[in-house]
Chains A and B, each alone.
Chain A
Amino acid sequence: MRSSAFIFLFVFLAVTPARTQDARNIRISGSWLEVPLDGFLLDLEQRYPVRFYFEKEWVEGLSITAEFTGERLENVLDNLFSGSRLRAVYFNSHAVALMPAPEGFIPDDMLQGGQIRIGSPFRMEENKPAAITGNVLDGSNGEGIVGANVRIRELNRGTASGPGGAFRLELEPGIYTVAFSSIGYQEVEKEILLYSDGRLDVELFEKTMAIEQVDIIGSENPGDFGTLQMSASRLSLEKINRIPAFLGESDVVKSILLLPGISSMGESAAGVYVRGGDAGQNLFLLDEVPLFNFTHMFGFFSAVNPEVVKDITVYKGGIPAFYGGRLSSVMDVRLKDEAVEKIRGSGSLGMITAKGALQVPVLKHTGYFLLGARTSYSDWFLRQIPNLELQNSGASFHDFNARFGIQLNRKHSLALSGFSGRDDFLFDKQARQIFGSQYGNASYDFVSNRNLSLHINGNTGQYRSELSEFNDTLHASTLKTGADHYKLSAGITYYRVPGHDIKGGFEGIFYVFRTGERIPYNISSIIESESLQDERCLESAFYLSDEVRLGASVSVSAGIRYSLFSNLGPREEYEYYQGLPRSPETITDTVYHPAGKWFGGYGGLEPRLSARFELNKRNSLKISYNRMKQYIHLFSNTTTVTPTDIWKPSGGSIEPQTGDQLALGYYRLFPKLQLETSAEVYYKYIHHLMDFRGGAEVLMNPALETELLAGCGRAYGLELYLKKARGRLNGWISYTYSRSERRVSDPVQQEEINRGQFYPADYDKPHDLSVYLNYRLTSRLSVSAGYLLSTGRPLTLPEGSYEIDRLPVIHYSDKNQYRIPDYRRCDAGLTLDLNLKKNRKWYSSLTFSVYNLFGRKNPYSVFFRNENNVVLKGYQVMIINQAVPSLTYNFRFNQ
């Protein structure tokens, strides 16, 4: 008997459709008289190309007396088993599995029209309820419908769908009629045969498609002429969506790269560099929650679904005292938080992802739900590529956002939100990288008597990254890193005093950094588990700021922030001999800080000052100074940011980074031309900047400090910006001249970089021009174009080689002495509004865009590798070497 084959069969029966050339068409001839069934089947196996799989006990006592002349096997078996519990299941061209059907089983051909079978009769258990789970979806966009009614007619029982339209019902097995309904949608009824746990997804369609057009209004730009804030930009969702994007995938972070003073390392690279700061010096807030990794697909996309975004505000300088913790910038992404009157939705279907968002009013319009989801289908994409390595690979990501807000009364309001995002990469069955973030967030707002408002926010989040390598089964391992945080903040705004806008508050963030754990990938691996100690620390800050109007033309914002930082045990720290290079050999002592004991500690004042001088109605000047402190550091020894880069707190020999920035700006309006222009210059100095020694090992290194070189940095630049926000032709031109330099000097020459002189940072790109233009050709058709030009980023080249004491040595140029070729790219897009005038509630558009229109081969990276007898040979990588067209369908609707 071949019962072991059954497991195998079960798996495939579910997925293999019946084919015409299968065993059921075998023609049987012969006569049998009182032959036991198993003997008969054996006989057939010998005479025909067929194998039967069954358990002997099932056919015991059964016998056959029959005569066939060219009868089809299917008919033979059907006749044979009619009246018995056995059923024949056909698999591939020759296998037939004989299966006993459970009581009450109704074969497929006896199902009534439209009946749906849920679960399997083979898994049915009497007196045990079966669970139906599923989603009620909007058939027009696939978004879940929250609050849809799911009703069992026979039992007069039901439930309502939750987030994402998900519902769950538990019922005794049986036949039921389920009705699905939701306000504004056509009701749908389904007749089901329920055997065991299973899924039922239902799509509902709107009763009518009469919806108003949704207008998304961009907020006032804080960096504009009229405000005190300088060096800041705000982009609304609408703007983000109009910018031609790679593969038509609009992206929050990629959009801000078009703004002056913000750059990336190259095509699709994960890091963002603001005014000469490092990638780890940006505070990325999503709905007030700090995210440690805000990328998907190693930087191709950012972690935020643009459909749920209200706007993104980027502060490059003049950063208000309210923000802190990172040196270079604050990127504050706010989610749609309006209490909508009617259901609103939006979404898009692109080449790589599908994304959508839904805003639902609840509790008589005093509250709302915001739900957003995005998923990639890049896995499918990879399999289309005729490359075996890629077909064995996978790349996918998804993210979900949810936000619930409610206005309790005129004074009190509450909001809750959550996020989950995950990436999964498989490379050629050799390695897998999984990373993702989650957070939960709650905030409370109080407004009293029009002179005081209070905002309290608490959130917690975690970031996890897992890199598994399983090419070598014996040494297959998984490396886990991550970071958790718990944040509480409270802020008061007091505007009782005329001419003043006083803000004050505090925030505290407790971090747990999981700096590394390596475990065997599975039981056949001989790798021993090892883990580095988690590092706990608390960063807190108090701030007070006032915005004062001094006369008609001058306004000043002055703020002070006092930040504090302390580590929490348990932790072991190495002490090194003073004056010697830090290395495992120079460790003099290990200090143990017991659990619960606070140790270390840094703190400092961070003054913030901005002033605006309105010269006249068209000209204004702004000046700002800010000091920022950063206590947690992103350590990466690679040129680009990767998911496994490690966050580490200050402490021991890692000092907090401090940055001072002075910026001056001139702003001019040309009202007739509808133009806004600005010119800003800045100078920034960074103390205690850490750089790695060449070749340093960052992962699973318990003494990371031995790999660090302490240095400092400076950055300066000029940013010119010309913007036309309104009109048929709108867009902007930004040009940045900037330098970002580092210095590592040391009494020991070998510890220095470039002899202790300032050298260009890895992302130093002096010239950076970006142009973005949008022109409305007709009321339904608009075109947009983007152009980017920047200096190639710095490069260190091997200039030659030599031997020293028989050891080969490569002679490198000064660090970042050379540059890769300049980067140039032109993108174009065409957006066609599809909605007809009658249907104002459903708005849809098609965007056709071409990324890298002229197919320029922009080198992303240059690397050197070993090849035959040549020790190092240069190669350049182009991520995109041709024009990449794409088509995206966008929609939004309003109830």
Chain B
Amino acid sequence: MNGGRMNRMTKIVLILMAFPWGCIEPFEPEFSGDISRVLVVDGEITTGTGPYEIRLSWIRPYESGISYEREAVAVEGAVVRVLDSEGNTYLFNENLPGEYGSDSSAFRAEPGLTYQLLVDTQYGRRFESVPEEMPRVVPISVLYASYEEVTLTGVDGIQRTSDGMQVYADVNSQEGPLYLRYEYKETYEITNWGSFFYRLYLEGYAIYVSRQPHDSTFGGARWPYATDIPDFCWKTFSPPRYLNYQAVAPRSDGRTITIPVHFIPVQNDPRLTRKYAILVRQYAISRQTYEFWRRVELQGDYTGSFYDPVPSRIYSNVYEVDREEPMAAGYFFLSSVSTERLIINREDVPDIPFYYHPQCQFYDVYADVPGDWLKLYSMNTECCFDCRVCADQTAEKPDYW
């Protein structure tokens, strides 16, 4: 939201604070009770194929502040089970410390059944989730994209417009309200510029690469990279922090509802320059789950300014048996999933730049031509020479490409 404004507001008030008789000092809160004994549940069962995973850890308590870098302590040796309304019990095995997985051949959640999570820790504490019904599957009727100009709010709180492809999911309206959450995975094709120089190298040119970025003095190494450079790579990734959840009002006219899922800009972005694929996973969730995600998103806007509203606790659907105060955090999600993939070719995108020019550190590439050294190109990082070195990239063409 508008974090910038809030900070400015704070600053105005800081005039008053900064009178010579005011000051700001570190504050060490004193907590009542043992906050480190709060169990964190991060798990989901879906109507998709398993195995499902439930991660259990102890909360990272406030210690001179809250830091995400501290490692959470895994809850090891717990007995993790899921109960359904037909009386079946599915045991989750601890595959890694604190990570419990289901047996995919034995357990696949079904819409309409009610599920409950049971956790018994080594030391005899028992946690349960509120039994919830697995929502009905809501199929994506069409997944498509159109070229649009959208207004995006940047991290600085300022709105800018951008052209690009907006991906939409159409769903058929339902009798009752729908709560949906989206996840996606993107894959796109990357030209490996290094292969061009590799070809020259194969042709017999002496190719040198400077040792340092922006190092124009000659003295680099002669073709220091591998000798089987691919022409293309495919990069696949999911956004590290992404939330897209929707509440859809029921419609009696039976029309479809269009939900924006993701936007890919054309400028300064490599994704649409050749070929792009997006795998959209649509989860039908409960109202409770919807509100959970909504809270998580609101919390992300918190700037920590004391003129900001203080966010409230996000409640878990897991509780400790026989304890009144909430001793669990996180959520045990039930969602029915439907998946669609959309491929966008370069030809589908108007006004697409010819190629994406990466903007980072540049290494100069020289070729030894008769009479002089010819500067061929500036490349950034090793991964531009060999795209396989980059994170999340592979030279193996996906089977659906």
Binding site for B on A (CB under 8 A): 268, 297-298, 300, 382, 385, 387, 389-390, 393, 395, 425, 427-428, 430-431, 433, 467, 469, 471-472, 475, 577, 579-581, 583, 585-586, 588, 637-640, 642, 644, 692-697, 699, 748-755, 796-815, 817-818, 857, 859, 861-867, 869-882, 884
Contacts and interface: CB of A to CB of B under 8 A. Distances in A.
A798 B62 contact: yes
B311 interface: yes
Q: Of residues B4, B15, B314, which shows the largest number of chain A Cβ atoms within 10 Å of its Cβ?
A: B15
29 contacts: A431-B8, A467-B8, A581-B287, A586-B247, A588-B249, A638-B309, A639-B307, A639-B309, A639-B310, A692-B309, A694-B311, A695-B1, A749-B317, A750-B294, A796-B311, A797-B62, A799-B38, A800-B59, A807-B296, A809-B296, A812-B314, A815-B310, A815-B312, A862-B27, A870-B64, A872-B66, A878-B23, A878-B24, A879-B22
Nearest to A393: B15
Contacts of B314: 750, 809, 811-812
B323 interface: no
Contacts, number: 276
Contact of A427 (B15, B304, B329): B15
A804 B42 contact: yes
Contacts of A639: 306-307, 309-310
B299 A878 contact: no
Interface string B290-304: 111011101111111
Looking at A395, A586, A802, the one whose CB has the most chain B CB atoms below 10 A away is A802
A808 B310 contact: no
B92 to A, nearest CB: 17
Contact of B307 (A583, A642, A878): A642
Interface string B258-285: 0000000000000000000000000000
Given A799-B59, A800-B35, A802-B40, A583 B5 contact: no
A752 B22 CA distance: 37
A875 B313 contact: no
Given A585-B247, A588-B249, A695-B299, A863 B304 contact: yes
A800 B328 CA distance: 12
B330 A870 contact: no
Contact of A866 (B5, B250, B298, B304): B304
Contacts of B30: 818
Contacts of A866: 303-304
10 closest A-B pairs by CB = A863-B306, A750-B291, A873-B65, A694-B311, A695-B298, A865-B304, A870-B65, A874-B27, A800-B59, A876-B27
Given A433-B12, A753-B312, A808 B68 contact: yes
Interface residues of B, number: 88
A861 B306 contact: yes
A696 B66 contact: no
Given A467-B9, A875-B24, A796 B249 contact: no
B247 A800 contact: no
A755 B325 CA distance: 10
Contacts of B302: 694-695, 810
B61 A800 contact: yes
Contact of A882 (B21, B241, B301): B21
Contacts of B372: none
B309 A802 contact: no
B26 interface: yes
A877 B66 contact: no
Contact of B2 (A586, A697, A798): A697
Interface string B327-338: 001110000000
B240 interface: yes
Contacts of A387: 18
A88 B17 CA distance: 49
Contact of A806 (B17, B241, B290): B241
Interface string B35-48: 11010101010000
A475 B25 contact: no
Nearest to B61: A800
Given A877-B22, A878-B25, A801 B8 contact: no
A818 B68 CA distance: 23
A827 B289 CA distance: 53
B31 A799 contact: yes
Contacts of B216: none
Contact of A796 (B14, B20, B312): B312
A870 B68 CA distance: 7
A755 B330 CA distance: 16
B141 interface: no
B31 A585 contact: no
Given A430-B8, A802-B330, A298 B16 contact: yes
A577 B294 CA distance: 18
A387 to B, nearest CB: 7
Given A586-B247, A809-B296, A802 B18 contact: no
Contacts of A806: 240-241
B95 to A, nearest CB: 18
Contact of A749 (B13, B23, B29, B288): B288
B60 A809 contact: no
A864 B299 CA distance: 13
B72 interface: yes
A534 B298 CA distance: 28
A386 B308 CA distance: 29
Nearest to B302: A695
B67 A800 contact: no
Given A638-B309, A804-B296, A862-B27, A430 B65 contact: no
Contact of B295 (A644, A750, A817, A872): A750
Contacts of A811: 35, 38, 59, 313-314, 329
A451 to B, nearest CB: 54
A454 to B, nearest CB: 46
B18 A390 contact: yes
Contact of A395 (B15, B38, B299, B329): B15
B69 A428 contact: no
Contact of B60 (A692, A800, A880): A800
Nearest to A883: B21
Given A577-B177, A639-B306, A809-B299, 12 more contacts: A395-B16, A425-B12, A427-B11, A637-B309, A693-B298, A694-B312, A799-B61, A800-B36, A800-B38, A812-B314, A872-B66, A875-B27
B206 interface: no
B305 interface: yes
B57 A802 contact: yes
Contacts of B291: 581, 748-751
A801 B177 contact: no
B246 interface: yes
A588 B257 CA distance: 13
A462 B291 CA distance: 40
Contacts of A815: 310, 312-313
Contacts of B22: 877-881
A689 B40 CA distance: 33
Contacts of B28: 874
A425 B15 contact: yes
Contacts of A865: 303-305
A247 to B, nearest CB: 10
B161 to A, nearest CB: 11
Contacts of A699: 2, 5
Interface string B229-270: 000000000001101001111100000000000000000000
B65 A797 contact: no
Given A427-B11, A802-B329, A807 B21 contact: no
A810 B311 contact: yes
Contacts of A475: 158
Contacts of A433: 12
B223 interface: no
B21 A880 contact: yes
A882 B21 CA distance: 6
Contacts of B59: 799-802, 811
Nearest to A879: B22
A875 B241 contact: no
